[in-house]
Amino acid sequence: MHGRLKVRTSAEEAARKKKEQELKVKAYRAGMAKIQSKRSNNELDEEMLIICGQILARNPDVYTLWNIRKECILKLSENLDEEAKQIVFDKDLSFAEQCLLANPKSYGAWHHRCWILENCPKPNMDREVALCNKYLKLDERNFHTWDYRRFVVNKAGIEPAKELDFCTEKIRNNFSNYSSWHYRSNLLPIVYPHETDSRRPISEEKLKHELEMVLTAAFTDPNDSSAWFYQRWLLGYSRPELDIAAFRINKNQAVIAFTKPITSSDFQFDINPNLQVSIEWKSANGALADSTWFAEGDFSIPAENNMSIKCNLENKECSLQLNRCIDGFFAIKCPRFEYEFGAAIIDELKNQLESCKQLLDLEPDSKWTLLTTALLMRAIDRSKYHEKSIEYLGKLQTIDSMRKGYYEDLASKWNTEKCLEEWQNSTKIPQEISLKSLKLTSIYYDQYLSIADVIDLSGNCLSNRSIPKLGSFRFAKKICLDDNKLSSIENIPSLKYLTELSLKNNNDLIEKDTLKAICGNDFKINI
């Protein structure tokens, strides 16, 4: 037996580990008790700094101890000259780096470094950039390091173009670097802004280059999400500006809707000819910031047909020429739901669409390729490819069932956009709009429906979460919600003109008495 290593049995090993753990817990509790005692006595001295350091070196995620450490450093350095104070802060930077060696994803350690740099007399930003480079070599996808790098770069005043080059290098080393793609999306609008259109943060030439680069990355590993997400950002970077979406007025009610939620104090409103009445706007859905606002009163409707409205939004004047309807005036202005790209970009998108189709021939169940193909179709010609893009979303609901709800909602959004565009150019506006049998799981763009008399939402998949959206339908006289998935109408909003609500085939709804109480005995209910 001599000279042979004794191997512990599993029971002995378990007992040893348990004893080890008990000693650690005992030491931790004793250290924390000592810290709390000294803090109560305001003893923010060297001993306190050492005890905090001993615990943090083993577990740098105890955020309370980092805060106590800050108090100690401020106390110990308050009467020192600048040079001596710098030594104290530099020493703590070194300690924080030791903690990062134990856990390079410690929120507390990275945040503590930010605090040191903001409070020390002479922060050395070049050293911190070098530290970021070091840690990104160890783990190029550590988002804690990327966050810290953005902080340091901002403090150091490093040029965005230089950082963009750094991102390019990291992406070329590893296409599956989501943090670098994200950082790139923040830098591009600064380095390559569009020359004329503020809604388009990237120049057309640079956009074409980015599309080419991201396709190479995506096809290198079709199952990795990083490049696909970046491509989605490139295709959908344009967002509608704040503007008037719709307006309607009669003798008793006015409704104004916006492309985005806004507070009542954020817009100044004028009607020409002047209504000679003070308008008090109320949120249609009872929110502080809402897309739809309404007012009730006794409004004088002019006989002439040249009525218009003006509204100041974010220091920009928006206006609408109103159209006459049977009881007053209305207007609607649908946005461009997707940006209309230039010819050169469209050609590139068509090439990418063909490449995606080829990849689908090889890998028909590639979810990222399917979704990107649908997005490319809409970017090229959303009207022409509408049915096909909806078909692809249907496939994704089966292939990627964990995200079925997302694909259903996206299909609902696209179907609603198509209906709104058709309604805007029809003779039925504002009398009625049909959103029937579109498999809608949610009501999108409810602010545009605020001017409609009749709204048909039957044959969809709407649940109780859609009930609050009905608050935007301020001019609705009839709403049809037959053949949906409603189980309760307890929270249905009170609407001034609503006289008929149809709720047939909705999970055995029987709350007719509730509706009568809300809407009155002359209210027609179909259940």
Tokens of residue 91, six digits: 């020493």
Domain-terminating residue out of 369, 388, 421? 421
Average pLDDT over residues 274-278: 59
pLDDT at 71: 93
In a domain, residue 210? The reply is yes
In this structure, is residue 511 part of a structural domain? yes
371 and 226 inside one domain: yes
354 located within any domain: yes
Write down the H helix ranges in 292-366: 343-362
**Is pLDDT at 220 greater than 80 in this prediction?**
yes
Asked whether residue 522 falls in the same domain as residue 433, the answer is yes
CATH number of the domain where residue 457 is located: 3.80.10.10
User: How far apart are the C-alpha atoms of 522 and 447, rounded to whole Å?
Assistant: 27
Q: What is the pLDDT of residue 410?
A: 95
Q: Is residue 326 part of a domain?
A: yes
- Note the pLDDT of residue 493: 85
Q: Which of 298, 332, 366 is the last residue of a domain?
A: 332
pLDDT band, residue 427 (cuts 50/70/90): very high
Higher pLDDT, 194 or 168: 168
Q: Is 289 in the same domain as 416?
A: no
Where are any strands of DSSP class E within 164-252? 244-249
Q: Do residue 384 and residue 468 come from a single domain?
A: no
Q: Check whether residue 235 and residue 342 sit in a common domain.
A: yes
Mean pLDDT estimate for the chain: 88
What percentage of the chain reaches a pLDDT higher than 70? 92
Length of the chain: 527
**Residue 217, in any domain of the structure:** yes
At 369-395, the pLDDT tens digits run 999 999 999 999 999 999 999 999 999
Query: 513 and 482, same structural domain?
Result: yes
pLDDT of residue 11: 78
Tokens of 38: 């000294």
Q: How far apart are CA 294 and CA 256, in angstroms?
A: 6
Report the C-alpha gap between 428 and 457 in whole angstroms: 16
Q: Are residues 233 and 338 in the same domain?
A: yes
Model pLDDT for residues 73-130, shown as the tens digit of each residue:
999 998 899 999 999 999 999 999 999 988 999 999 999 999 999 999 999 999 999 9
CA distances from 450 to 148, 331, 438, 495 (A): 46, 11, 20, 11
Q: Using the Cα atoms of residue 213, residue 216, residue 221 and residue 223 in order, give the sign of their dihedral.
A: positive
Distances in Å between the Cα of 493 and the Cα atoms of 289, 457, 467, 472 are 18, 17, 8, 9
- Same domain? For 282 and 352 the reply is no
Of 76-80, 82-86, 360-364, 520-524, minimum mean pLDDT range = 520-524
Range of the domain at 369: 192-239+334-421
Q: Is residue 162 part of a domain?
A: no
User: Of 272 and 391, which is predicted with more confidence?
Assistant: 391
| 343 and 204 within one domain | yes
What is the pLDDT at residue 406?
Answer: 95
Backbone dihedral angles phi then psi of residue 268, each to the nearest 5 degrees: -110, 135
Average pLDDT of span 48-65: 90
- 412: pLDDT strictly greater than 70: yes
Same domain, yes or no, for 377 and 491?
A: no
pLDDT at 439: 95
Count of domains in the chain?
Answer: 3
3-state secondary structure of 321: strand
- Smallest CA-to-CA distance from 179 within 143, 155, 210 is with 143
Q: Are residues 415 and 443 in the same domain?
A: no
Instruction: Report the CATH number that the domain containing residue 228 is assigned in CATH.
Output: 1.25.40.120
| Mean pLDDT confidence for 193-203 | 74
Cα distance between residue 443 and residue 415, in whole Å: 11
Query: Where does the pLDDT of residue 444 fall: very low under 50, low under 70, confident under 90, or very high at 90 and above?
Result: very high
Domain CATH code at residue 281: 2.60.40
Question: Which helix (H) or strand (E) is 250 found in, with range?
Answer: none
User: At which of 300, 332, 364 does a domain end?
Assistant: 332
CA gap 128, 330 in Å, rounded:
59
In a domain, 131, yes or no: no
171: in domain: no
Q: Is the pLDDT of residue 6 over 60?
A: no
Per-residue pLDDT tens digits for 465-501:
888 899 999 999 999 999 999 888 777 888 999 999 9
pLDDT band at residue 1 using 50, 70 and 90 as cut-offs: very low
482 and 519 part of one domain? yes
Interatomic CA distance for residues 217 and 215, integer angstroms: 5
Cis peptide bond prior to 189, omega within 30° of 0? no
Q: Which residue has the tokens 């609008």?
A: 189
